[in-house]
Amino acid sequence: MRLTVLGSNGTYPTAGRPASGYLVAASGSNLVLDMGPGVYLSMLERVRRPDAVVLSHVHPDHCVDLFALLAAIRFGDPDGWGIPVFAPPGLSDRFAAFLAVDADHALHRVFDFDPVGPGDRRRLGPFELEFGEANHSVPAVVTSVEAEGRRLVYSGDTGPGGDLERLAAGCDLLLCEAASQGDPPPDRYPYHLYAGEVGALAAAAGARRLIVTHLVPTLDPAVSVHEAAVEYDGPIDHAVPGMEVDV
């Protein structure tokens, strides 16, 4: 199983750095985790279309490029309709409302929306997917992807709590948001993680490798990696577009 970082910026893209999006490949199949702005074009450098998409939640920096994929498949790839999209309940309704379309629109045939939540499991080709609760400001999921005897866990957006530590237990790679740096203040925003918290979580879960991602673009990634390394003594990287990792 191989991970390719398509985009990793938190909150918004910058030049050459799309927002959240990750390509996971195994046994000839391709799964995309999140499609933030800029991710579709980055994906096209590797695959024409994914075999499935997981959207962790409805915030634009994680899902807006699904609109680009919709248009490309709808008008340019008649054999590509029916792509499974695993996402929290209600996300497909949000997309339909934004487009002002009804249930007969091609949106619902180009994509096969499959609502998932904590405890749900899905099998797609070589991929075994398990979803857990994320602690975020909208319904969101953390995702475990297992294939070829290896397992990757992706946090999406989450604060402390939820199912991330449980799902990450013993994983080969934890791909985890680290939106903030320093010591969390008493009035901290509860729906994102600090880099030190990410390191502590990876250590507690026994993750074999940690990649921090979803950093606010104004932050120095070296600081985030250092703060995570204070708590976690395994290998740590910062996700950058184009990075390829054998899980």
Distance of alpha carbon 195 from alpha carbon 212, whole angstroms: 8
Number of domains in the chain: 1
Tell me which H or E stretch contains 34: strand 29-35
Residue identified by tokens 């199912």 is 163
pLDDT at 105: 96
Query: What is the predicted pLDDT for the residue at 191?
Result: 98
Q: How far apart are the first and last CA of the chain?
A: 6
d(CA 98, CA 183): 38
How far apart (Å, rounded) are the C-alpha atoms in residues 33 and 213? 13
Domain span including residue 163:
2-246
AA letter at 221: P
Each residue of 127-153: pLDDT tens digit?
999 999 999 999 999 999 999 999 999
d(Cα 35, Cα 49) in Å, to the nearest integer? 12
CA distance 200 to 101: 45
Residues of the chain with pLDDT under 50: none
Give the CATH number of the domain where residue 116 resides. Answer: 3.60.15.10
What is the pLDDT at residue 216? 94
Bridge-based pairing of strands 210-213 and 173-177 is parallel
d(CA 144, CA 173): 10
Residue 160, pLDDT score? 97
